Amino acid sequence: MGSEGEAEAQYFCKDFEWEDLRAEVEANPSLAYHFGSLSSSTLPPPESDVQAWKQFHLRHATGKFFKERRYLLKEFPQLLSCAPNSKLLEVGCGNGSTALPILRANKDLIVYACDCSDETLERAKEIICDATTVASFKHRFHTFCCDLSTNGFPNWLACNSCRDKFLQKQSYCLSEDVRENNGLHFTDPCPEEFDCCVGGLDFVTLIFTLSAIPLERMPKSIKECFIVLKPGGMVFFRDYGLYDMTMLRFEPDKRVGFREYMRSDGTRSYFFCLDTVRNLFLGAGFDELELDYCCVKSVNRQKGKCMQRVWVHGKFQKPALSCQ
């Protein structure tokens, strides 16, 4: 965590064209092992990834890897201008690198944060409480432990009955018949006070978390985000892009799947091309608002080396209920 090494101003950058990097990488014979076929004997056991993240956080409990991602506020300006008491879920929050700058910048937001590791949630709470200067963030910051890729999110974010109603309304409103019938009207799925649950979320942030989840469990993870969002709610996505320098540095034996690598500590990293991200989100029912590579050149002064970093920036929206 924190190895992304991004400077604050590098939020939506094009220092080079991704297609040029792709041509260079694919023509380089010393990198050919990134594209060859894999033997199934090299595949890791299922769900060892979550255990590996838990161990990772136990080993790094000092929070040394903590770095606030302030650039997200520029990248996703909706984080600064939302209605009072809007609700955001930071998925795979780690030590709170994403949650803290959002809490600082917008007093109107209630931030829920989850991770598969209890250890890191405790650390996030400590860091966020320590960072409090003027007002307490405590009443606006709530954590919970979950593995979204297998068990999904808890019911109290959007209870079963509300989830069903979101889904029913969604499919009903999207059907051609209903689009043509302007006379139909639905009531909100939850009562005003939301006794049954928090009533769904306005925003979900997925910041360097999806890449940590094995490819085969990504569709369920994205669907979970879709289900807990209110209609019209948005996902803010940032993650590793295909041919990022950190991908090209992986040795052949670290490759465990298609564009998927495992570090020595068992944690995983997937490297996304735009089509993979697009297919995952559109497949879950989202509309695409923004999707692009962020290509940044940075120089390692000590080694005098130029590093080509690639991230994917995305913004996706759950369709609003046009028939309301």
Tell me which residues touch ligand SAM (CB under 6 A).
1, 50, 53, 69, 92-94, 97-98, 115-117, 120, 147-149, 207-209, 212-213
Q: CB of 28: closest distance to ligand SAM in angstroms?
A: 27
Mention every residue, 6+ apart, whose C-beta is less than 8 A from residue 36. Answer: none
| For ligand SAM, the closer CB: 110 or 213 | 213
Q: CB of 131: closest distance to ligand SAM in angstroms?
A: 15
| For ligand SAM, the closer CB: 44 or 319 | 44
Q: How far apart are CA 103 and CA 113, in angstroms?
A: 11
| For ligand SAM, the closer CB: 4 or 202 | 4
Q: CB of 127: closest distance to ligand SAM in angstroms?
A: 11
The angle formed by the CA atoms of residues 95, 99 and 104, to the nearest 5 degrees, is: 125
| For ligand SAM, the closer CB: 149 or 170 | 149
Residue appearing with tokens 């803290």 = 100
Q: How far apart are CA 197 and CA 218, in angstroms?
A: 25
Q: CB of 107: closest distance to ligand SAM in angstroms?
A: 21
**Longest Cα–Cα distance in the chain:** 67
- The amino acid occupying position 78 is Q
| For ligand SAM, the closer CB: 190 or 240 | 240
| For ligand SAM, the closer CB: 34 or 70 | 70
Tokens standing for 75? Answer: 């990248």
Q: What is the CA radius of gyration of the chain?
A: 20
Burial class of residue 93, CB neighbours in 10 A (0-12, 13-18, 19+):
buried
Q: CB of 129: closest distance to ligand SAM in angstroms?
A: 18
| For ligand SAM, the closer CB: 46 or 232 | 46
How far is CA 14 from its chain centroid? Answer: 21
Residue appearing with tokens 């991704």 = 18
Neighbours of 20 (CB within 10 A): 11
Q: CB of 199: closest distance to ligand SAM in angstroms?
A: 22
CB-based closest residue to ligand SAM: 92
Inter-residue contact 186 to 323 (CB < 8 Å): yes
- Nearest CA among 10, 49, 30, 56 for reference residue 249: 30
Q: CB of 265: closest distance to ligand SAM in angstroms?
A: 12
Q: CB of 62: closest distance to ligand SAM in angstroms?
A: 15
Q: How far apart are CA 191 and CA 52, in angstroms?
A: 41
Question: Which residue(s) pair with 204 in the sheet?
Answer: 89, 235
| For ligand SAM, the closer CB: 21 or 218 | 218
